[in-house]
Structure 1
């Protein structure tokens, strides 16, 4: 029996050449719409789907392949005598190759100003249905969704006049992965368009692969980086690597954290240093060199082998300063030519460019964390303070202290809990984080500072359960504290601050980061 192929593709890359090869192998071609026109224009014999179904396309092309002649020809199990007898009784011929890719839904909805109606019209119905039919019956039908697979199919046909079962299986797997991805995109678009809660009864998320990584958290673990479909502007997924070896899992995680913290600062030139996904130095200044110097001086030891993210164009002076220590990654919105040449002298330094690095995080972003046997999902922590900070001590912070408290509050929001940040004049002095005791975090922040902390301010990501940390801060010379408040011992903590003449403000908002 002569083999038949049904071809209907939105992406016409290589389809004419593939059709020509199939025709040369004696395969009868069936097609629709633009695919049929392209094949005919190349002088290759092809039948319109209506010649097979004896039913015209209708509803502006919405219905053309949803027909028993099509799906019967695809789904019939060739070794099932009853199936084959039914096909003969109904005058249905088998379809042995299904070559389809879908309406460009993603490309449509990502276009600026696209209407909801246009998006809906680009939801493919017939295509996924035929793909699923063919993938289900992959033992008998070769289903091709990716133009990259055309060559493999033709090579196997030329070799043995058959496509191997292993190849058919792999192609079917690719189909179900693709249709799941396609439907998940549509569902997410409808959620966003309707401003619906993302915490639905079932959760299906989809990402697209950006690259394989050098390794995972440790060299013996393999890893890859995937990106979201919508709203990736201003994120690491859009960064361009200009220099250096491939990124690892830890590199991606660290840079992402650095970018998230950097977005808190837009008004001034800012440099963020990160090590093991935790900030180790933050500085703002009148120019980038000044800001980077502050970030570096905070902790010259920890920044070694770290990540640096900045929100201004890197100039030659800053590049030369960066080259004085070993850095894993530098990411910036732009680079002066001489600065880029300077940084490239470091053979293994990864240099990334992200023009939109300061862009505000779009709404509808979710934070996900895999657990054993499950997935935690929450809104991202996108709010700094809900309302105005409330002064709770006898002494109200000065305007300068308040500015500094807000600087430190931005940093502690991104520090691992328990988190304490000490800062002065737009520079972190000490960062205590990841401690199981808040007083330990406070003592570590004081102890690790390379500068005297007298006259500095302190931020805490959560309330103080006891007054011991306030006493430690006061004895070190801290003058003002910002914290969420909310402890049953708040008054005890306030009394301790008053005892030392410290100013304290409550934000009413906690920023745990586990």
Structure 2
């Protein structure tokens, strides 16, 4: 096989004499066809695309007229023919190719306009069957796109209606398409087919998965949503990829930064666990919750959340699970906040909050827990993948292990604190009472130290640990953890259990008159 290195490829502008148009998404295809017709370009097409162009009285040559072979197998085979792909892959600047094309009567095709069967849209329908999904796997389209993109030195390829206006403008101005533009569109084409194949592969990975088993191949293909000014720090370049617009609408304030996206992600994951709870407010700082509370009224939930830590919320993130009303907006507006997230806003609340131009206001459009997803983290030489944890523990999941049964109030406080500790960095301890965080200890190497920090912060804010429930994200390895909690005033403990010293911990709880429950689920967050 003879190869031409990239630095030897001809870099001339390309005149368009013949174009092949075959698109599933026919958005704006007519203005493009009309521009090609005005430029004297012969248009080759297939099926529905050809019919649409003919309806506008624009001459079209059907692919079957060129190949001498009719479409067959219910349209599965149309363009897979040497007279088509020879025209796409032939190097018109390479004399041996030109002589062979002349011998075989293959005419060059300088423009390919193709987009693919809507596979992703098809499988998003909950009623989609594997048979329907399989029929929406495009074969001819990706083959033509890849052929044209490989031969971008001699062929121009368009894969999105967004590219048409730029192509038309260049064609009408210069009567030819420059090398750099063809190479960029070829790059877009390869990304387009890579993304398409990733969705197909992931669909079949899920279809053939054995339970929750992770796939043998990790395929991540996400379009760039936007470039960011910088990453975690100003000297780091960054961008965000994916479909954030499905979940949030940042409709006011500055563009979200790299760190803002991390904060918003943490906030959305926590509030997903409170979507069926009473009005709830959570305050975050650097992806860590510093105050959470639920109440019958949202502004009271804010007051209780703020009481947990009155220092950290400055410059923080606020998320609520109800429409943000004026009373709550006024309370939040008393301090500087970077971001406010709510499912909706009262008009009067918006008028108040929009007075600060740089504060980001976000409308949450979709709950994270409505989509099953994997979580990915990059590591040396690759990535880690795990299933997201959107499971909410209920009273039925609790196993009482102490002599004293918890009161109903203690159960409610334990369940509340358990929801919160799930989103606190390990080692994590949360004290809660009356659906309010009283003290949060996060990210310590010792569970006792995490508890000490939570108690110290509560005392600093003038909050009493007396009568609280304490949640621990992992088991207490020694009795000292529950002993410290009892000494501080806690009366109920919720933890996963599973330590080899569980019996010692339970015995200590019984001696101290504590009620303790096991959930059987650990909540490490690294």
Asked whether the two chains share a fold, i.e. TM above 0.5, the reply is yes
Distance 1:389 1:150 in 2: 60
95, 118, 123: which one aligns with 1:109: 123
Task: For 1:238 and 1:276, locate their aligned partners in 2 and report how far apart those are by CA, in whole Å.
Answer: 20
- Among 45, 57, 66, which residue is 1:52 paired with? 66
Aligned residue among 277, 287, 297 for 2:297: 287
**Deviation of 1:214 (Å):** 4.4
Alignment partner, residue 344 of structure 1: 354
- Cα offset for 1:393? 2.6
Report the secondary structure of 1:279's partner residue.
Answer: strand
Kept in 2, the 8 Å contact 1:210–1:237? The answer is no
Q: Does 2:477 match 1:477?
A: no
Q: Hey, what does 1:216 align to over in structure 2?
A: 231
Residue 180 of structure 1 and its aligned partner are, at CA, apart by: 0.7
1:369 equivalenced with 2:377 (yes/no): yes
The answer on whether the counterparts of 1:214 and 1:246 sit within 8 Å (CA) in structure 2 is no
1:32 partnered with 2:41? no
The equivalent residue for 2:439 is: 430
Q: 1:422 to 1:236 in 2, by over 3 A?
A: farther
The Cα of 1:431 is off from its aligned counterpart by: 0.5
Superposition pairs for residues 68-83 of structure 1, below 5 Å?
68-83=82-97
Question: Relative to 1, partners in 2 of residues 1:127 and 1:290: Cα closer, same or farther, differing over 3 Å?
Answer: same
The 2-side partners of 1:117 and 1:428 are apart by 51
Partner of 2:407: 398
User: Which residue of structure 2 lines up, in the alignment, with residue 508 of structure 1?
Assistant: 520
RMSD after superposition:
2.3
Q: Distance in 1 between matches of 2:31 and 2:258?
A: 40
Contact 2:290/2:313 (<8 A) preserved: yes
Structure 1 CA distance, aligned partners of 2:216 and 2:121? 28
Q: Secondary structure in 2 aligned to 1:376?
A: strand
Alpha-carbon displacement from aligned partner over 1:161-184 (angstroms, at most 9, x marks no partner): 442222221111111100010111
Is 1:413 the equivalent of 2:422?
yes
Quick check: 1:383 aligned with 2:395? Answer: no
Counterparts of 1:155 and 1:126, CA distance in 2: 28
**For residue 6 of structure 2, what is the aligned residue in structure 1?**
none
Query: Which deviates further from its counterpart, 118-127 or 320-329?
Result: 118-127
The CA deviation at 1:464 is 1.6
Q: For 2:499, what is the secondary structure of its paired residue?
A: coil
User: C-alpha displacement at 1:236, in angstroms?
Assistant: 7.0
Q: Deviations over 1:50-102 (max 9, x none)?
A: 11111111122211101111011111222443333322222211111111111
Q: Secondary structure at the match of 1:57?
A: coil
Cα distance, 1:360 vs structure 2: 3.7
Alignment of 1:231-246 (within 5 A): 237-246=246-255
1:231 is matched with none
Contact 1:464 1:493 (8 Å CA) reproduced: yes
Distance 1:10 1:399, change over 3 A: same
| Residues 478, 501 of structure 2: 8 Å contact kept | yes
Structure 1 residues 356 and 97 mapped into 2: Cα distance closer, same or farther (>3 Å)?
A: closer
Task: Pick one of 481, 493, 496 that aligns with 2:505.
Answer: 493
1:333 aligns with 2:347: no
* Secondary structure in 2 matching 1:330: strand
Residue 421 of structure 1 and its aligned partner are, at CA, apart by 0.3
Query: How far is the alpha carbon of 1:355 from its aligned partner?
Result: 4.6
Residue 385 of structure 1: how far off its partner (Å): 4.2
Contact 2:149–2:187 (Cα < 8 Å) also in 1: yes
Look up the match of 1:232: none
CA contact 1:7–1:31 (8 Å) conserved in 2: yes
Could you tell me whether the CA contact under 8 Å between 1:385 and 1:509 is conserved in 2?
no
| Equivalent residue number for residue 282 of structure 2 | 272
Shift of 1:270: 0.8
Offset, 1:284: 0.6
Q: Report SS of the residue matched to 1:51.
A: helix
Q: Which residue of 1 aligns with 2:186?
A: 172
Is residue 310 from structure 1 mapped to residue 320 from structure 2 by the alignment?
yes
Q: 2:330 aligns with which of 320, 330, 336?
A: 320
Partner-residue secondary structure (3-state), 2:282: strand
What is the Cα deviation at residue 424 of structure 1? 0.7
Report how many aligned residue pairs link the two structures.
Answer: 506
Structure 1: runs of 5+ lacking an equivalent: 229-234
In the alignment, the residues of structure 2 paired with residue 238 and residue 482 of structure 1 have an alpha-carbon distance, to the nearest angstrom, of 32
Q: 1:455 aligns with which of 458, 467, 489?
A: 467
Aligned equivalents of 1:177, 1:473: Cα separation in 2: 55
| 3-state SS of paired residue (1:6) | strand
- Do structure 1's residue 97 and structure 2's residue 116 form an aligned pair? no
Which range is displaced more, 2-11 or 329-338? Answer: 2-11
